[in-house]
Amino acid sequence: MTSENVKSTCEAAGMGFPCHYKGSSGCTSSSSWTSGCISYRGTSSSCGTHWVLNNKLCGDIDPRHCLPLDDTFVYCPRCWSGDNSNSAYGVDYDTHTFGLQGGNYNDMWALCAVIDECASSPCAHGTCTDGVASYNCSCENGWEGNNCDQNIDDCASSPCAHGTCTDGVASYTCSCEIGWTGNNCDQIIDECLSSPCAHGTCTDGVASYTCSCENGWGGTNCDQDIDECASNPCWLGGTCLDHVNGYSCVCPKDTTGKNCETVAFAGECYQFSSTAAAHPDAARACQTQSGHLVDVKDGQQQTFLADTIAASTGASTWLALKTAPTEPVFFYSNGAPFSGPLEWLPSEPAAACDLCVLLDSSGNFLGKTAPCTDQHNYVCQDVLTLCGQNVCQNGGICTSCFGDSAAFCQCPPGFDGKTCEIRVGVCASNPCQNGGSCHDDVNSYHCVCPTGYQGDHCESDTNWCSEVQCPNGFVCQDFTFYFLCAHPSPVARGFPYQCSSASCPDGMYCTQEGMAAFSCRPEE
């Protein structure tokens, strides 16, 4: 039995083969051990493999007397010389002999060793199961490969919908783009959750939101009261008072209307338009107001119209005068022939048919003919008559025009004001500020202030938040003409505020504003 027989037999069985020497330190003689043999990793005072095994199997006796080692041979690279130089090294129990030359024997036992393939801990991140000349690794979560040494790329499936993936061991983390949240960055952040639109409706976007503001409010968060007075809507010296989604004009004496556009003069009433129209459309508009396009019949009236137009629209303005369709003759609004006087531009009037007359803004508001289809502003006229219902105080004479839509008071001596409510002398100095009306008392006066102002002379903004009490947990916000009570955490509150008769002071009405807020505004 040769050493090669021992080697091939062990290898065929999937096992390692030991040499005559065990191969550990000091036991690697070239005659008795070679690098192909396995090495004994235990401790033993003997170098010989049979002696090491004898000690383990039979105790401290000679291997010749150890039955389990009977007829066993080990690889011995250069134990012999001559014809048996390639012989294995063997032991015989029956004859109590060792040092048998394998070349002299057949059908003996090859001494082999089962190798523990897991002894070197080949599975970096897993559990090793030993096999015959092999091993198998059961990997921990997050690892793969034959030796469980490859970290599984948990980002390979691109799990972060709107973000950057960072791989971990059996896990991953997502760094989300702005506007996204969630483990996989697949949930859009609701930018409207904080109710950023103070007076409007919020529409959520990606990392943004937009507010659709209620009428009268502007700004990114609908928290800016639009100044309706910015366009100077009040004419002829009227004072504009800004409100939420509106304005009002405090008009000078002998003027009235939404924009102070209606003026009383010499027993007549004049309404100046803010829009342009063709002459026929302007005439119909005046008729709808129970009036007619203005007829100019004297120089004083033309001067009044020119001055008033210059102080309001400044635009060319239609008169009622027009020529007949078939002859160059001018007629008033009632069909009567034109009798003058009217100051005309040089070379006017034109001797043509079917023309209309205007006061020309580029010619000092002198008369000029123009096609009736042109678009120009216009003035409606109506006679002042006694009011159907007297609105004047202290014996004042009430006259009105345009179907009682505009009224004027002729005050008796000692009284003044739009409705003769001011006793001249006491209120003549106009002591009431911010549009407050002065009322004369006996040797004194008092001011009636518009909503949002207070004080003896209406000189101070009303401090609503010091005079009212919002519900518990709500915060008061003062907007001059009204106030707002808002809960600072509408989401935490969870349900909308319900207005009741106790929500606002007398004379004011409650309006729900969003999820958890309400306003109190003056009753009209």
Q: Tell me: the pLDDT tens digits for 450-499?
A: 877 888 999 888 888 988 889 888 999 988 888 999 988 876 666 778 88
Q: 489 with 444, same domain? A: no
Q: Tell me: the pLDDT tens digits for 390-431?
A: 999 999 999 999 999 999 999 988 788 889 988 776 777 788
Look-up of token digits 């239609």: 318
Does the pLDDT at position 244 exceed 70?
yes
Is residue 255 a contact partner of residue 239, using CB atoms and an 8 Å limit? no
pLDDT over 90, % of the chain: 51
Is residue 136 a contact partner of residue 128, using CB atoms and an 8 Å limit? yes
Mean pLDDT across the stretch 190-214? 91
> Measured between alpha carbons, how far is residue 138 from residues 90, 118, 146 in Å?
41, 12, 9
HSE-CB at 163 with a 13 A cutoff on CA atoms is: 23
Looking at residue 414, its pLDDT comes to: 78
Does the pLDDT at position 115 exceed 80?
no
User: Is residue 65 included in any domain, yes or no?
Assistant: yes
Q: What one-letter code names the amino acid at 524? A: E
pLDDT over 70, % of the chain: 98
More confident residue, 42 or 389: 389
* Residue 261 CB neighbours (<10 A): 26
Is residue 40 a contact partner of residue 139, using CB atoms and an 8 Å limit? no
User: Which residues are CB-neighbours of 164 under 8 A, at least 6 positions away?
Assistant: 174, 175
Q: 371 with 477, same domain? A: no
Does the pLDDT at position 319 exceed 90?
yes
Q: 470 with 498, same domain? A: yes
Bridge partners, residue 97, by sequence: 92
User: Which residues are CB-neighbours of 443 under 8 A, at least 6 positions away?
Assistant: 426
Bridge partners, residue 164, by sequence: 175
CA dist 308 and 305 (Å) reads: 5
Looking at residue 492, its pLDDT comes to: 61
Is residue 75 a contact partner of residue 88, using CB atoms and an 8 Å limit? yes
User: Is residue 421 included in any domain, yes or no?
Assistant: no
pLDDT band at 42 (very low <50, low <70, confident <90, very high): confident
351, 383, 415 - which closes a domain? 383
Say which range, 14-28, 137-151, 170-184, 243-257, has the weakest mean pLDDT.
Answer: 14-28
CA dist 121 and 356 (Å) reads: 111
**Shortest CA distance to 406 belongs to which of 292, 291, 283, 279?**
291
More confident residue, 11 or 235: 235
Q: 490 with 440, same domain? A: no
User: Is residue 450 included in any domain, yes or no?
Assistant: yes
Question: Which of 191-195, 263-267, 337-341, 419-423 has the highest average model confidence (pLDDT)?
Answer: 263-267
Is residue 378 a contact partner of residue 318, using CB atoms and an 8 Å limit? yes
Q: 105 with 73, same domain? A: yes
pLDDT band at 443 (very low <50, low <70, confident <90, very high): low
Q: 451 with 355, same domain? A: no
Range 323-329, long-range pairs (CB < 8 A, 24+ positions): 323/352, 323/353, 323/354, 323/355, 323/356, 323/369, 324/353, 324/354, 325/353, 325/354, 326/353, 327/353, 328/352, 328/353, 328/355
SS (H, E, C) 316-343: CEEEEEEECCCCCCEECCCCCECCCCCC
User: Is residue 389 included in any domain, yes or no?
Assistant: no
- DSSP E strands in 384-459: the ranges are 385-386, 397-401, 406-410, 415-416, 422-423, 437-441, 444-448, 453-454
> Domain range for residue 452?
427-462
User: Is residue 171 included in any domain, yes or no?
Assistant: no
Mean pLDDT across the stretch 131-158? 90
Q: 448 with 509, same domain? A: no
Does the pLDDT at position 442 exceed 70?
no
Looking at residue 18, its pLDDT comes to: 92
**CATH number of the domain that residue 209 is part of:** 2.10.25.10
Is residue 278 a contact partner of residue 373, using CB atoms and an 8 Å limit? yes
225, 246, 276 - which closes a domain? 225
Q: 16 with 75, same domain? A: yes
**Torsion sign across C-alpha atoms 508, 512, 514, 516:** positive
Q: 28 with 80, same domain? A: yes
Is residue 359 a contact partner of residue 370, using CB atoms and an 8 Å limit? no
Tokens, residue 182: 């969630």
Looking at residue 157, its pLDDT comes to: 92
Looking at residue 114, its pLDDT comes to: 82
> Does pTM top 0.75 for this prediction?
no
User: Is residue 45 included in any domain, yes or no?
Assistant: yes
43, 77, 110 - which closes a domain? 110
Is residue 195 a contact partner of residue 203, using CB atoms and an 8 Å limit? no
* Burial 375-397, CB ≥16 within 10 A → b, else e: ebbbbbbbebeebeeeebbbebe
User: Is residue 202 included in any domain, yes or no?
Assistant: yes
Q: Which helix (H) or strand (E) holds 466?
A: helix 464-467
Mean pLDDT of the chain: 89
Q: What is the DSSP string of 72-119?
A: EEEB-TTS--GGGTTB-EEEETTTTEEEEEGGG--S-EE--B---TTT
Most distant CA atoms of the chain, gap in Å: 167
CA dist 310 and 303 (Å) reads: 11
Say which range, 123-127, 476-480, 514-518, has the weakest mean pLDDT.
Answer: 514-518
Say which range, 13-17, 247-251, 252-256, has the weakest mean pLDDT.
Answer: 13-17
Is residue 180 a contact partner of residue 163, using CB atoms and an 8 Å limit? yes
Q: What one-letter code names the amino acid at 209? A: Y
User: Is residue 148 included in any domain, yes or no?
Assistant: no
Q: 303 with 357, same domain? A: yes
The backbone torsions φ and ψ at residue 397, rounded to the nearest 5 degrees and listed phi first, read: -95, 125
- The domain tally of the chain equals 5
Mean pLDDT across the stretch 345-370? 90
Bridge partners, residue 475, by sequence: 486
CA 150 to chain centre: 44
More confident residue, 316 or 40: 316
Look-up of token digits 């907007």: 479
Does the pLDDT at position 441 exceed 80?
no
Would you call 204 helix, strand, or coil by DSSP? strand
Q: 337 with 350, same domain? A: yes
CA dist 49 and 21 (Å) reads: 5
Bridge partners, residue 61, by sequence: none
Looking at residue 131, its pLDDT comes to: 79
Is residue 359 a contact partner of residue 369, using CB atoms and an 8 Å limit? no
Over its C-alpha atoms, the chain yields an Rg (Å, rounded) of 56
Does the pLDDT at position 23 exceed 90?
no
Does the pLDDT at position 238 exceed 90?
yes
Does the pLDDT at position 190 exceed 90?
no
Mean pLDDT across the stretch 69-92? 89
Mean pLDDT across the stretch 163-184? 93
The backbone torsions φ and ψ at residue 361, rounded to the nearest 5 degrees and listed phi first, read: -70, -25
Q: 485 with 437, same domain? A: no
**Shortest CA distance to 213 belongs to which of 201, 205, 195, 224?**
201
